[in-house]
Structure formats: C-alpha cells, structure tokens
Amino acid sequence: MAAVLMPEPDLTPNDLKYTALEGEEKQRIIDHINEEHFSELVGFIKAFTPLTDLSPKQHDVRLVDIYAQGIGLQVSALASLASDAPQSDTHYFIAFPEVITHLNELQYQYIALKQQADKKLRKKTIILAEKLFQVKSGFAVTDNMYRLLLSAPAAASDNSCFPASEAGYAYLFDLSHNLSLQTASNSDTAAAQRTHRYYTLRKVSTNPTTGDEEAWVDVFLHGETLGAQWLAALTPKDTVKTKREVPENIAHLQQGQSLLIADETSIPTVARLLELWQNPIAPLIIYITQKAADQAYLQDRQANPLIDDALTVLPVMNADLAQGAPLAELIAHTLTQHLKSNPIHIQKVWGALETSTSKALRALLKPTLNLDRSAMIVKGYWRQD
C-alpha cells in the first residue's frame, strides 16, 4: 500500500488523533533511534514535510512517540537559526504505509518509510529481498578474521549482483538456512536466539575464467558463537541466504579530514574505504582489536597511491578492558595524545563499535571535536551481552 504522508506541524506528542503504542521496550527503541538513526530522522523531515532544506547543523530532530498510525518527530532549532526555519520546537506526524498494532511490527514500517524517503532524496536505501549466493572457499586473513568467498552467477539478473564499488555494504545473513538451530547452540542468550547476522561485503571482483562475480565477506571469530558455528558448517558449493541489504552511511567522508574508528567487525568497511578513497586528505584511523595479531588485517588490502604514504593507523588493544566507558575513554585518550603531537582539524568521523562503547565515545568526542551529528557517525555494530 502506498504511504499517505501527513505532515502536521501542530501535532503534539499526546495528540489524541493517533493511538500511542505501549510496551516495555518502547523507550529503549526511541532512545536507540534518537542515538543511532539521526540522519534517517532528518531524511524523513526533508522528504515528507515542507522543511526540505533542513540543516542538521542548525536543527535537532528527535523521535518523540510511536503510534499505530506513524511516528511523531520533533524539530528544534539549535543556536543559530536560518530565517525560514521554525523558531521553536515543531512537531510532525509521519504516517506509516500500514497501520500497526504492536511495536514488533515497527521495523518493517520504519524501513518502508526510509525506502520512500531515500527514493525522494535520491539516496541509496535498504533492500529487503531474499538472495542466495554460493560458497566457493574460505581462509584465515589473520588469527581471528576468516574470509568467506561467495559467488553470484554471471547470468543472474542485475539485482542479484554485488555492488562493486561500495564500502560498508552489509548483508543480513539467515543462518538458519545452513544450521539446524535447535542443535546449533546450547546458549540461551539473546544473541544466540537471533538467527540472523550482519556481515559486510569486504570486496567484489570478477573471476576472469568463469565471469562470475566473487565477493569477500570477513567474519570476526570470537569463540563458540552462532556466527562461528555457521561458518564452520559451510562447505564449497553450499548456498548462503541473505534477507536484507544495508548501505553504510559514509557519504560525508568525501571531503575534509576524516577520522575512522573500527574494531574487528567494522574494519572490513575501513579496508574497502581505503581502497576506494578519493578524498585527497588521508584519513586518520583508530583500529581496536582484542588480540594484537588481528592488527595485521589492514595490511591485506589493495594499494591506494593517493593516500597510502600519508596514512596513520593508531592501534588500540583492549584485551582486558570492558566495553562501554572504559574502552571509549582509552580510544579518546589515544586520539587526544596523537593530536597533541600531530595537530590536525578533524572534520568528519565514521566509526562502528560495540553499542555501549559507541554511545560513550560519541559523548566524549562531541565536545572535543565540536562536530554536528551528520558529520560524526559512530554506530553500534554489536552488543555486549
């Protein structure tokens, strides 16, 4: 069903026209979207309301409530105001394509809104589609990083092929396609209950003999997890199934001095970014690993003469350090120490880490770097149980 979009500037969060959904997870969902999905909220406002030129430098956008019929967003002006911008908080209602009855249906409606907004704004968007790829082989890149080689047949239609020149393009793999999940894991943890895992496309190339497109997916192995069991169960010619594709939010890195912050789960994105990097200013990189041996991962990449001589990688080892504030403080300290002897003006940040670490790090970097939220994207890629 097509979306009926109803920008309603006078809506208040408690507006009785809409049915607010309730549930113990609601506040956590709202906080998560406000913390990690700011650029999407800005996109909703630009695509579906008259504020088509809204600038994240001058405005904050927050999700204030979730209704059966849509979401309520609040736009607030920051310090300096554009002349035609709202002078105080303004509320907008964005209608879902379909009414929902429970918060567990939110994700699909939110994705549908994002797809519509991205289309209007001519941005790459999430794709919901089941795809099968074939396993060709696999090998260890470093002690704990394992590379899976996948192929998509040359004869496949365009939408079965891998995007060749995008860093950070992630697929949601359905592990139940290859594992019998009743026997796969004895763990009752929330992570083990989930049967899907995101892994990033590290690189795409064409096999000169077969003409098949081949893709690398690099998986960080950290114990007897479901992801590790899935990898161990795969043999050549098996198919793997994906259900969703998510482009990474990296467009802001095209200009200016960038800082990239990655752990083992996001370093495939950084490696590909470096191979494709066209911004003449080389990024500064902070690479956090649990084991020193995995620092070698970044050496395994195609040269980029534009920046390779100017690249600085600051290694951080966190074998004994807790995720969250302790690790975030170590990362921020490493950066501060480096900037003391190498004063550069960081204008853009991209990073992806454990969720509580990324949250703590955003709070530490904000006053230091003084960047608006569209210039500093530090995401949660996994959650410490």
Ligand X SMILES: Cc1cc2nc3c(=O)[nH]c(=O)nc-3n(C[C@H](O)[C@H](O)[C@H](O)COP(=O)(O)OP(=O)(O)OC[C@H]3O[C@@H](n4cnc5c(N)ncnc54)[C@H](O)[C@@H]3O)c2cc1C
Q: Say how far apart CA 185 and CA 343 lie, in whole Å.
A: 49
Question: Could you say which of 74, 109, 151, 200 contacts ligand X (CB under 6 A)?
Answer: 200
Provide φ and ψ at 328, rounded to 5°.
-60, -40
Question: Could you say which of 113, 219, 327, 361 contacts ligand X (CB under 6 A)?
Answer: 219
Nearer to ligand X by Cβ, of 187 and 368: the residue is 187
As beta bridge partners, residue 258 has 348
Question: Could you say which of 18, 110, 220, 287 contacts ligand X (CB under 6 A)?
Answer: 220
As beta bridge partners, residue 152 has 213
Q: Where are the alpha helices (DSSP H) in 175-266?
A: 181-184, 190-193, 226-233
Under the binding rule (CB under 6 A), the answer on residue 335 touching ligand X is no
Under the binding rule (CB under 6 A), the answer on residue 369 touching ligand X is no
Under the binding rule (CB under 6 A), the answer on residue 147 touching ligand X is no
Tell me which residues in 180-199 interact with ligand X (CB under 6 A). 189, 191-192, 197-199
Tell me which residues in 241-300 interact with ligand X (CB under 6 A). 246, 264-265, 268
Residues ≥6 apart with Cβ < 8 Å to 7: 48, 49, 50, 92, 93, 94
Q: Which residue is nearest to ligand X (CB)?
A: 227
Q: Say how far apart CA 231 and CA 221 lie, in whole Å.
A: 9
Nearer to ligand X by Cβ, of 181 and 332: the residue is 181
- Read off the DSSP letter of residue 235: -
Under the binding rule (CB under 6 A), the answer on residue 173 touching ligand X is no
Nearer to ligand X by Cβ, of 95 and 253: the residue is 253
As beta bridge partners, residue 287 has 262, 315
Q: Find, among 287, 295, 279, the residue nearest to 261 by Cα.
A: 287
Total binding residues toward ligand X, as defined by CB under 6 A: 25
Nearer to ligand X by Cβ, of 19 and 193: the residue is 193
Q: Which two tokens stand for residue 271?
A: 């490696």
Question: Could you say which of 210, 254, 370, 384 contacts ligand X (CB under 6 A)?
Answer: 384
Q: Say how far apart CA 263 and CA 292 lie, in whole Å.
A: 12
Tell me which residues in 68-87 interact with ligand X (CB under 6 A). none
Q: Find, among 126, 127, 119, 128, the residue nearest to 43 by Cα.
A: 119
Question: Could you say which of 227, 247, 283, 351 contacts ligand X (CB under 6 A)?
Answer: 227
Contact region with ligand X (CB under 6 A), list: 17-25, 105-113, 224-232, 329-337: 224-232
Binding site for ligand X (CB under 6 A): 170, 189, 191-192, 197-200, 218-220, 222, 225-228, 246, 264-265, 268, 381-385
